[in-house]
Amino acid sequence: MTLNINKPDIKEIFPNTVVNINGEILPPESSHVSIFDRGFLYGDSVYEVTITQNDTLIFLEEHLDRLWNSAHLISMEILFSREELIKQIKKTANAITAKTKYVRVIVTRGESEISLAPTNTSNNLIIICRELPENPSWWYEKGVEFIVSGVIRNDKESLDPNAKSGNYLNSVMAYLEAKKKGVYDSVMVNKDGHITEGTTNNIWMIKDGKITTPPISAGILKGITRDKVIEVCKENNFNFTEDVFTPNELMECDECFITSSTKGIVPVTKLNDTNVGEGTPGKVTKELSQLYQNKLDKYVKDNSNRGY
Amino acid sequence: MTLNINKPDIKEIFPNTVVNINGEILPPESSHVSIFDRGFLYGDSVYEVTITQNDTLIFLEEHLDRLWNSAHLISMEILFSREELIKQIKKTANAITAKTKYVRVIVTRGESEISLAPTNTSNNLIIICRELPENPSWWYEKGVEFIVSGVIRNDKESLDPNAKSGNYLNSVMAYLEAKKKGVYDSVMVNKDGHITEGTTNNIWMIKDGKITTPPISAGILKGITRDKVIEVCKENNFNFTEDVFTPNELMECDECFITSSTKGIVPVTKLNDTNVGEGTPGKVTKELSQLYQNKLDKYVKDNSNRGY
């Protein structure tokens, strides 16, 4: 008497994919965790996503810093060393061949008694590595469409968005709202009515030549691509500031874009069904994209000899 | 080269426990889900906890109503019928023998592509049934100690606490704060500074003979024991109201208690290191406890012939 639920074929959905569970490399269809894992019961986990280019793990050290910071923010102990994790990530990435690879590292608080407070200190480490198909070129050529979501971003006093955790329903709901409206993604406001971030990306606007992105204090994740684009702005003397802004101010900007580790800089050319500027990727966005690409290329060149 | 992490012995932690995964009864140590399950990746799941007494599933229909409502609140489809779920719950509960059993029903949005929007419609159903040891008698005789947490309860515009979901970090953090201070549990306030609920229970206060519990609009879970105690209040003409109150008002109450499906009514006799009233369970709390127990006994008597 098993339940009759249509299940997707994991093997089919995840070609050229491997999973590392606590050091063991497994095919996706055999990759399981205990139902007593706190990641499963409570979303009690932290994670990072990065990519490889020419077999170089992009901004690996920054992602590991942030993983440990996320764990700190939710009082989770990570019981293995950074060096051990790097070894495991490299082993996993080496297990497939692909031009670009997606790498997701998840650390949970492990299994324990069913209690909000863990009754023992443990972890489960899961690393997913898969071939990452090229992002659609139209994202970069035409730009993508956003809405301002009706879902309010998790407040930092409730669950700090700067902890990249397995509690993702807030963003799932905002993303579903975007999909229902047939657009690419949502940006959320905080309880003060200020723009925070997209569901898996940071948002930027340009008005009269001034580049603005919300500060961490608005209740956002400290994006790594965000940090790199801030560096680009500073190195190239752009007029840049971290400041809060409202949906109305965003609607009146000249250019808008998002930043993400898997997507880089993507122009946003429509917001709430209204063109941003001329409705095409703007001049400053294109300049920043090129400068960010140069930084990325330099990183790959400087780090490729480290291998993985 | 597997990771050297201390893992608890699941078999040892969970004696007299069975798990039902999509209809299949398994021992706890063999109970696993795919790491691609959205419950694991995003906390994208809903759940219920109830107990059995004398082999009667307590307030089963109310718990099922709420499970479906939680799913509705996060736009999750449940792909099996209520009748099928009841059959599976009974099958699981029948698989162990115990005076009182703990029953946890979890429904996830299943496996799909790694994307915030599920790329197919699926579920995983997990039912955990275990022997529930008797609650410590001192909870009821002496009462328990609470603090008002520094963690703000998830806002209902961000993630409605009335959806009982797998996103539980907000409550985990408040509970860890209580444990750090050596007390039983935390109660959280909402962004307006009003008391909401404990981490796994509803809170009540009595002042000058008037019984008050926060309304659903304060951003709380519509507790089933809460509903039953409201019935008790109305049936017995107690002076009862659903209304918001602040931590200061709570600190000045004469009696305080919590309600929970696994614990019933538990007196709270200390709050932020200060005695509530005389620091012992109050008269009205004791009266309500007795009346609630009568209601529970009647339920068991009326429903025991339905078997499970």
**Which of B39, B166, B199 lies nearest to residue A116, judging by beta carbons?**
B199
Amino acid at B265: I
Coil vs helix vs strand at B105: strand
Question: By CA distance, what is A200's nearest residue in B?
Answer: B116
Q: Greater confidence, B117 or A308?
A: B117
Q: Looking at B45-194, which runs of residues are DSSP E strands?
A: 45-53, 56-57, 100-108, 124-131, 144-148, 185-189
pLDDT band at A308 (very low <50, low <70, confident <90, very high): low
- Which two structure tokens, joined as six digits, stand for B146? 């609470």
Per-residue pLDDT 10s for chain B (308 aa) are 688 888 999 999 999 999 999 999 999 999 999 999 999 999 999 999 999 998 999 999 999 999 999 999 999 999 999 999 999 999 999 999 999 999 999 999 999 999 999 988 999 999 999 999 999 999 999 999 999 999 999 999 999 999 999 999 999 999 999 999 999 999 999 999 999 999 999 999 999 999 999 999 999 999 999 999 999 999 999 999 999 999 999 999 999 999 999 999 999 999 999 999 999 999 999 999 999 999 999 999 999 866 55
- Which two structure tokens, joined as six digits, stand for B133? 């040891």
User: CA angle, B159 as apex, A225 and A143 as ends, to 5°?
Assistant: 35
Contact B172 A39 (CB under 8 A): no
Task: Give the DSSP letter of residue B187.
Answer: E
Residue B5 contacts A, CB cutoff 8 Å: yes
Which residues from chain B sit within 8 angstroms of residue A125, using beta carbons? 3, 5
Which residues from chain B sit within 8 angstroms of residue A191, using beta carbons? 155, 157, 191
* Contact by Cβ (8 Å): A126, A19: yes
- Which two structure tokens, joined as six digits, stand for B94? 């029948």
Using H for helix, E for strand and C for coil, what is the string for B36-57? CEHHHHHCCEEEEEEEEECCEE
What are the phi and psi torsion angles at B253 (to 5°)?
Answer: -75, 165
- Which two structure tokens, joined as six digits, stand for A170? 């807030």
pLDDT reported for residue A140: 97
pLDDT reported for residue B304: 83
The whole-angstrom separation of Cα A35 and Cα A109 is: 13
pLDDT reported for residue A216: 98
Contact B176 A117 (CB under 8 A): yes
Which helix H or strand E contains B153, and what residues bound it? Answer: none
- Which two structure tokens, joined as six digits, stand for A168? 């993702």
CB atoms within 10 A of CB A62: 17
**Which of A22, A155, A200 lies nearest to residue B191, judging by beta carbons?**
A155
pLDDT band at A4 (very low <50, low <70, confident <90, very high): confident
Contact B19 A33 (CB under 8 A): no
Contact A155 B157 (CB under 8 A): no
The position carrying tokens 């293995």 is: A80
Coil vs helix vs strand at B24: strand
The whole-angstrom separation of Cα A108 and Cα B47 is: 20
Q: Does the pLDDT value for residue A307 go beyond 60?
A: no
| CB contact residues (below 8 A), chain A span 15-54, against chain B | 19, 21-24, 28, 31-37, 39-44
**Which of B114, B122, B166 lies nearest to residue A41, judging by beta carbons?**
B166
Taking only the tens place, the pLDDT of each residue in B117-155 is 998 899 999 999 999 999 999 999 999 999 999 999 999
| CB contact residues (below 8 A), chain A span 71-100, against chain B | 74-75, 79-80, 84, 87-88, 91
Which residues from chain A sit within 8 angstroms of residue B84, using beta carbons? 3
Contact B40 A41 (CB under 8 A): no
With b for 16 or more beta-carbon neighbours within 10 A and e for fewer, the A262-279 pattern comes to bbbbbbbbbbeeeebbee
CA distance readout (Å), A130 to A28, A33, A51, A172, B105: 10, 19, 10, 22, 32
**Which of A8, A21, A122 lies nearest to residue B6, judging by beta carbons?**
A122
Q: How far is A292 from chain B (nearest CA, A)?
A: 25
For testing contact with chain A, the best of B2, B3, B48 (most A CBs within 10 A): B3
Which residues from chain B sit within 8 angstroms of residue A126, using beta carbons? 35
DSSP letter string, chain A: ---------HHHHSTTEEEEETTEEE-GGG-EEETTBHHHHH--EEEEEEEEETTEETTHHHHHHHHHHHHHHTTPPP-S-HHHHHHHHHHHHHTS--SEEEEEEEEE--B-SSSSS-SS---EEEEEEEE-PPPPHHHHHT-EEEEE-SSPP--TTTS-TTS-BS--HHHHHHHHHHHHTT-SEEEEE-TTS-EEEESSSEEEEEETTEEEE--GGGT----HHHHHHHHHHHHTT--EEE----HHHHHT-SEEEEEETTTEEEEEEEETTEESTTSS--HHHHHHHHHHHHHHHHHHHHHGGG--
pLDDT reported for residue B306: 61
**Which of B28, B122, B126 lies nearest to residue A8, judging by beta carbons?**
B122
pLDDT reported for residue A304: 84
Q: How far is A24 from chain B (nearest CA, A)?
A: 6
Taking only the tens place, the pLDDT of each residue in A237-290 is 999 999 999 999 999 999 999 999 999 999 999 999 999 999 999 999 999 999
Contact A6 B121 (CB under 8 A): yes
**Which of A8, A74, A191 lies nearest to residue B111, judging by beta carbons?**
A8
The whole-angstrom separation of Cα A180 and Cα A142 is: 21
CA distance readout (Å), A234 to A73, A222, B177: 29, 17, 40
The mean pLDDT value of chain A amounts to 96
DSSP letter string, B246-304: -HHHHHT-SEEEEEETTTEEEEEEEETTEESTTSS--HHHHHHHHHHHHHHHHHHHHHG
CB atoms within 10 A of CB B247: 17
- In DSSP terms, B61 is beta-bridged to none
**Which of A74, A104, A112 lies nearest to residue B169, judging by beta carbons?**
A74
Which residues from chain A sit within 8 angstroms of residue B7, using beta carbons? 110-111, 122
Residue B121 contacts A, CB cutoff 8 Å: yes
Cβ-Cβ contacts under 8 Å for B242 (sequence gap 6 or more): B212, B213, B214, B215, B216, B230
Nearest to A43 by CA among B172, B184, B6, B160: B172
Cβ-Cβ contacts under 8 Å for B134 (sequence gap 6 or more): B100
pLDDT reported for residue B4: 85
Contact A3 B19 (CB under 8 A): no
Nearest to B258 by CA among B295, B217, B206: B206
The whole-angstrom separation of Cα B263 and Cα A137 is: 57
Q: How far is B199 from chain A (nearest CA, A)?
A: 8
**Which of B23, B34, B74 lies nearest to residue A169, judging by beta carbons?**
B74
| CB contact residues (below 8 A), chain A span 202-221, against chain B | none
Which residues from chain B sit within 8 angstroms of residue A200, using beta carbons? 116
| ipTM of the modeled complex | 0.97
Q: Greater confidence, B2 or A153?
A: A153
Contact A14 B31 (CB under 8 A): no
The position carrying tokens 């005789």 is: B141
User: What residue spans of B143-282 are helical by DSSP H?
Assistant: 169-180, 224-235, 247-251
Task: Give the DSSP letter of residue B28.
Answer: G
* Contact by Cβ (8 Å): A204, A277: no
- How close are the terminal C-alpha atoms of chain A, in Å? 47
pTM of the model: 0.97
Q: How far is A176 from chain B (nearest CA, A)?
A: 6
The whole-angstrom separation of Cα A63 and Cα A97 is: 22
